Amino acid sequence: MDWVYLDNNATTKPAPEVVAAVNHAQRELWANPSSVHRLGQQVRQKLELARQQVAELIHAPPRELIFTSGGTEADNLALFSVAPPDALTFITTRIEHAAVREPGERLAKQGATVVHTEVDRDGRVSAESLQRLVHEHTGNSDNTHTTLVSIQWANNETGVIQPIGQIAEAVREARERAAEQGQRLKLLLHLDATQAVGKLPVDVARAGCDLMTLAAHKFHGPKGVGALWVRRGVRLQPIQLGGAQERGRRGGTENVPGVIGMGVAAQLAGAFVDDHAAIGRVRALRDKLEQGIRAALPNTVVNSGGAERLWNTANVGFPGVEAEAVLLGLSEQGVCASAGAACSSGSLDPSPVLLAMGIPEPVAHGSVRFSLSRETTEAEIERALEVVPKVVGRLMKVLPTG
């Protein structure tokens, strides 16, 4: 079966150059990069070259990059390492990826103050609400307390891009206000940029953040490797112990083949995000998919369709049917999509992200995410437009929800 793969926010196909680099590393660069002998140091040089390549993708100093096992570990490292829970105020949203949402729940149980800023119907953060919360929870802070703001740059389910400039400005304004009052405010901004890196131009300095998460397999790199960028001067207490790797911030022998593959993927992604014509081509395919589905199924809802979104993401609600049934029907016809985050697959509950946005439950229950990549073809979209209306139309007749 020739698959039409429209699940690229879950993972992307590794680029051929990445596969070749990983295979070469497995064959030739297998020594431990922490060893002092020449073979080990040759591997160390390749690992540091990859660090530089990844850092260039987000315009960051290489020494500020910590390699991890992926985006989830990077998010956890950011959230659990900046302060003890009983000395932490954590400000976030209810539409974050589970890698932020679930650590937030644990932090609350461990004594942290956890508050959520508002989002609108399209899933955009209210800068005014965030500013109000930051002011409220940093007004009486002292040097022993830390406030951490964590926002997902681009949502993995809807593709909505947050107003990062306004968010960073709210954090910066709170710091300036504290300085004017003679306070030394510990206020940090973490951006989960897992879906943004490789799709949008990313510059850590312009973003105005202190920590940033990224994962290789979201931009045609290998799985099992990611990174956390940490601004110089931000101190972390490592949560993974067992060695002095990554400058003592993340113990354990590095995943050298994965890191090298991530470096190659970063170079390819850097060239792509600067190619406006290539991005425009895929955006046009995404729009064609949405418009074709809505023409065939007039009751269809495009969730967050009025907001600025990633060029590759369409979250489509089919009221009256179950998303799981739609996905199974599509899969039988060779079309791959998903309902919500891949990490939550298997759940029959509607997406907590969509519900937190205020989307009605019948729509949320029937919402499916289609996510394209830079490799998606027009023929694949045309095939999807043949399959999706047939599958959904049949389900509306034989398996309608109450």
Q: Which residues does the annotation mark as catalytic? A: 343
**What secondary structure letter does DSSP report for 154?**
B
Alpha helices in 82-203 (DSSP H): 98-109, 127-138, 164-180
Of residues 395, 362, 375, 353, the one with CA closest to residue 4: 375
| Token representation of residue 360 | 């009605």
Angle at CA of residue 59, ends 97 and 207, nearest 5°: 50
Distances in Å between the alpha carbon of 371 and those of 51, 117, 375?
A: 28, 27, 11
Pairing state between β 113-116 and 313-317: unpaired
Alpha-carbon gap, residue 384 to 371, rounded angstroms: 12
Collapse the DSSP code of 147 into the 3-class scheme (helix H, G, I; strand E, B; otherwise coil) and give the result: strand
223/217 Cα distance (integer angstroms) = 5
Six token digits for residue 398: 């034989």
Whether residue 66 contacts residue 227, with contact meaning beta carbons closer than 8 Å, is answered with yes
The Cα–Cα gap between 335 and 321 comes to 18
Contact 68, 226 (CB under 8 A): yes
d(CA 130, CA 118): 7
> CB of 75 within 8 A of CB of 97?
yes
Residues in the chain: 402
Q: SS3 letters for 62-90? A: HHHEEEECCHHHHHHHHHHHCCCHHHEEE
- Torsion sign, CA atoms 146, 205, 171, 198: negative
d(CA 228, CA 159): 21
For 129, the 3-state DSSP assignment is: helix
